[in-house]
Chains A and B, each alone.
Chain A
């Protein structure tokens, strides 16, 4: 059963970090302006950039 466990985190560790960052981003701008807004741009910007990078890379 050990390989299954390690496989799970091998596959899901990065997506989990990204999911938590975007959740923090979605929440932070609800708390205030200024630095809270900037945190939300970071949290939502990371998934956007990763997706666009995958989309635009060619060979």
Chain B
């Protein structure tokens, strides 16, 4: 059953149309519920920065003279440990928009999984800790978890990745079907006076085809992001394990050397790059015996591509500047293209608009299927041709 009842097909063979129609109907129907959930939870996530500020959840650094000196990294580690006694450092993150702050992530152990970590901000001038409630719980965290893995961990991510693949197939098959549907119609025709079904069929086709590129890009980058855990595991296998092989029999690290000079050491071997984050020993981005300083390129485009510098956590010698496998670059580029956070507020508004339009395409698709099924029941093919 093709679900749409396109009876005329002397240019594209009607059998071919039926096949594509079958593919389009069922890939869409299976992924629609998940895609609707993703589109709805994604909407507030586009504006998470603005929402945090509005709700007063954003950490605000106090105003100090512009030339106030920064503490060194080891002093920041001590400030963090004082703030959360009994926990260990996992990551320091840096942001050029807020050079006086270090995003700090701590947990019970360095290897603790990300959802059990605690994220807060350190004022890099005073060592004062500022809480970031939305990074650890609350409404936005619920939206994020639903969007990322539906609170189901890796199986949830992989299920969503599969739904993303179905979405891409639905987009491609929908584009193929656009031809027989629109053969006799001018672009952007919306027939208002025939029937509600025809109006929504035309709108489904119009909105679907104009949002095609955006939906494909957000879909594919979402699939890549959903596979991030697998990509990171592959990276650990491919690049990291060879570099840390000599440490396999080394005694466990008891006390890492002070973090004070980590950024200087990394900048020496990665000239012209900027620090993005530091992974402390024992996390999934470092090794049991290494600090990893992730350096990013200094141009707009390369700022999404990360090069890890592995630094021996006892001697502070550079073990290696790791290669960037292509799939880690793909993961890095996927983030902005999925989040829509790289073109200011107007881009976020457009992102939200296109997201809303996608919801309309999904909804109208279900509507068209339901109406078609009802119509098909008494008389299977009642040939409502787009004349």
Binding site for B on A (CB under 8 A): 3-4, 7-8, 10-12, 14-15, 18-19, 22-23, 26, 29-33, 36-37, 40-41, 44-48, 50-55, 57-59
Contact = CB atoms under 8 A, between A and B. Distances in A.
**Complex A-B, nearest 8 residue pairs according to Cβ-Cβ distance, in ascending order:** A29-B343, A47-B210, A22-B213, A14-B187, A51-B207, A44-B350, A54-B206, A19-B213
Contacts, number: 103
Interface residues of B, number: 38
Contacts of B344: 33, 37
A30 B207 contact: no
Contact of A47 (B179, B211, B337, B347): B211
A41 B343 contact: yes
A52 B352 CA distance: 13
B192 interface: yes
Interface in B178-223: 178-179, 182-183, 187-188, 190, 192-193, 202-203, 206-207, 209-214, 217
Contacts of A3: 11
Interface of B: 11, 178-179, 182-183, 187-188, 190, 192-193, 202-203, 206-207, 209-214, 217, 300-301, 304, 333, 336-337, 342-344, 346-347, 350-351, 353-354, 357, 360
A51 B211 contact: yes
A40 B304 CA distance: 18
B267 to A, nearest CB: 24
Contacts of A32: 300
Contacts of B188: 14, 50, 53-54
Given A11-B178, A33-B300, A48-B357, A41 B346 contact: yes
Q: Is the interface of B mostly helix, strand, loop or mixed?
A: helix
B59 to A, nearest CB: 25
Contacts of B193: 59
Nearest to B189: A54
A57 B213 contact: no
A13 to B, nearest CB: 8
Centre residue among A12, A37, A40, A47 by max chain B CB count within 10 A: A47
A44 B350 CA distance: 7
A35 to B, nearest CB: 12
B179 A11 contact: yes
Centre residue among A7, A46, A53, A57 by max chain B CB count within 10 A: A7
Nearest to B193: A59
A3 B342 CA distance: 44
A41 B347 contact: yes
A58 B211 contact: no
Contact of B343 (A7, A40, A47): A40
Contacts of A8: 179
A55 B190 CA distance: 8
A26 B190 contact: no
Contacts of A44: 214, 347, 350-351, 354
A53 B360 CA distance: 14
Contacts of A59: 192-193
Contacts of B347: 29, 37, 40-41, 44
